[in-house]
Amino acid sequence: MKPDIERLYRQMARMRFFEEAQADLWNRGLVPGEMHLGMGEEAVVAGVLDHLREGDALALDHRSTPPLVARGVDLASMLLEVMGEEEGLCGGMGGHMHLFSREHLAGSSGIVGSSAPMGAGFALAAQYLDQGGIAFSFFGDGAANQGLVLESLNLASAWKLPQVFVCKDNSWAITTRTRSVTGGCLARRAASFGMPSFRVDGTRVERVWTAAEKAVRRARAGRGPSFILASCPRMEGHFLGDPLLRVYKEPLKQAVEIGPPLAKAAFSRPLSALARRCGYLGNIGRTIATLGGERYLTAIDPLLRAARLVPEESRARIEEEARSEVAEAVARAMEGRRRHG
């Protein structure tokens, strides 16, 4: 069985254009607080959720909007929610990090790693109901060291829960390189719990689809969970306006804003600590250089990779339809905001 590339690309385009719409609202000051986007994760989400059926459940992390777009949650209601409006998906009380839809059996949380036990609960319910439903848990590599994730892997394996764990590996845990705080390989770690573990290039939607097809088939057959480790970029940093990326976007302004305070801190008394402070500054510089290199030099856009697999005529039509859908949702959301503002 082969994936339907045009269908996958349509979902990816819908996710990307919706994320861009959210970014625009945030930049206009219409979204309060931080905004964590899933740009770069589209191939992972689309490849996995193309296997979703009615009755399946989604346990999501703080980058939940791409999966919810794929799941079919109303786009305008999500936009109203992230703007804090009462007409939003959760009455304006959840924001973008705590989106929930009872109708779609989908929930997200800002608690790091919580999607693993949430998914185990969904999977246990599906097992008892015995209607063929399964649960998908999405989380990042930075969450994989949390105890509740390891406990969930163990429980899912011991009870043969119909659960698919999806780890989106972007090599970063906020501003910390994951490898500096992670022992061993996450894929082998999951396999040690007795479940199949798949390592896949998360920028290639067709490869994600193939790995997910095996994991989903196993879960639906009652044979237990699987783990997918999908490498993917974090295209906008940890959140919109990430200060590490601002250095590249507006170098002169950032040099003026952060240069003097850093210099003052480095040369403050006692001067005997100067060498150690310079070492700290070196670490900051290396982090900025690494993140910038990944974002601007070596990053691979999964949407562009998928686009190359779609005939040009079909690609243009899909993109136009996706842009129109998102634009219509933005218009509805803004009208609702004005009406109840």
Q: What is the pLDDT of residues 89-133, one digit of tens each?
A: 999 999 999 999 999 999 999 999 999 999 999 999 999 999 999
Would you say residue 10 has pLDDT above 60? yes
AA letter at 17: F
| pLDDT given at position 239 | 84
Mean pLDDT over the full length of the chain: 92
Structural domains of the chain in order of their starting residue, each with its CATH number: 5-235+300-340 (3.40.50.970), 243-298 (no CATH)
Q: pLDDT over 90 for what percent of the chain?
A: 74
d(CA 113, CA 110): 9
| pLDDT given at position 255 | 64
d(CA 162, CA 133): 8
| pLDDT given at position 177 | 86
Which of the residue ranges 174-178, 289-293, 316-320 has the most confident prediction, judged by mean pLDDT? 316-320
AA letter at 121: G
What's the CA dihedral at 79, 85, 89, 95 to 10 degrees?
70
Please state the rounded mean pLDDT for residues 45-61.
Answer: 98
Q: What is the pLDDT of residues 218-236, one digit of tens each?
A: 999 999 999 999 999 988 8
Please state the rounded mean pLDDT for residues 291-319.
Answer: 86
Would you say residue 297 has pLDDT above 60? no
Would you say residue 7 has pLDDT above 60? yes
Please state the rounded mean pLDDT for residues 262-276.
Answer: 76
Q: Which residues contact 165 (CB under 8 A, 6 or more apart)?
A: 116, 119, 137, 139, 152, 153, 156, 190, 225, 226, 227, 228
Task: State the helix-helix crossing angle for 251-266 and 274-293, rounded to 10 degrees.
Answer: 160
Please state the rounded mean pLDDT for residues 36-60.
Answer: 97
